Amino acid sequence: MLQSPGEPSPHSRKYLVRDRIFGIGDDYWIEDEHGRHAFLVDGKALRLRETFELKDPERWVLITIRKKMLSLRDTMTIERDDTTLATIRRKRLSLLRNHYRVELVDGTELDVSGKILDREFAVEYEGELLAEISRRWLTVRDTYAVNVVREDADPALLIAVAVCVIRLAERERGED
């Protein structure tokens, strides 16, 4: 069943992510909506190539995000176990500037659209909402929520997608 934006799902999971993740360089925790540590961001942001790792509470690497160095358009990759899992880039031929495509290695495509720089956007698969990214639920400054709506969706992957599209939109606007 398709969720309307803002409608809580009985299976939704909400995670609080600090803004400007690439500018930090320190480790910090992404917490769930109950304040528990859900993922550790290992701040490898100071490397020459933009990179960071998303780890579980036991510090096992779940996801690695990298900015692709040699590509015609700004592109980021999400890796799992040193294998590319997804490639993210701005959607071509889109009238909307804030429209990104996530191409998974199995051929699946996710669509990301909304007000990326305002942290108000959605991640969808074939028109079905997987996750909403928003600040409207929060009072904490410099934080946004990733609300994973679909029960079988991978929270680590969707958090990584959110981080990547925000970073790509900031780079496009010249916010290095």
Q: Are 161 and 114 in contact (CB under 8 A)?
A: no
Strand partners, 64: 53, 79
Residue 140 pLDDT class (50, 70, 90 cuts): low
CA 3-8-13 angle, to 5 degrees, is 105
**Contact predicate 145/135, CB 8 Å:** yes
Residue 107: per-residue pLDDT: 94
Q: In the predicted model, is pLDDT for residue 156 greater than 90?
A: yes
Question: Computed over its alpha carbons, how large is the radius of gyration of the chain?
Answer: 15
Is the pLDDT at 62 greater than 70, yes or no? Answer: yes
| Number of CB atoms found within 10 A of residue 164's CB | 26
Q: Please indicate whether residue 42 or residue 35 has the higher confidence score (pLDDT).
A: 35
Contact between 134 and 147 under an 8 Å Cβ cutoff? The reply is yes
Residue 118 phi/psi, 5-degree rounding, is: -90, 0
What's the half-sphere exposure (Cβ side, CA atoms, 13 Å) at 95?
0
Contact call for residues 130 and 153 (beta carbons, < 8 A): yes
- In this predicted structure, the answer to whether residue 168 has a pLDDT above a threshold of 70 is yes
pLDDT above 70 covers what percent of the chain? 74
Structure confidence by residue, pLDDT tens digits, 66-117: 876 655 568 899 999 999 999 999 876 555 567 899 999 999 999 999 999 8
- Please, which contacts does 114-118 make with residues 24 or more away whose CB atoms are closer than 8 Å? 116/165, 116/166, 116/169, 117/166, 117/169, 117/170, 117/173
pLDDT of residue 46: 45
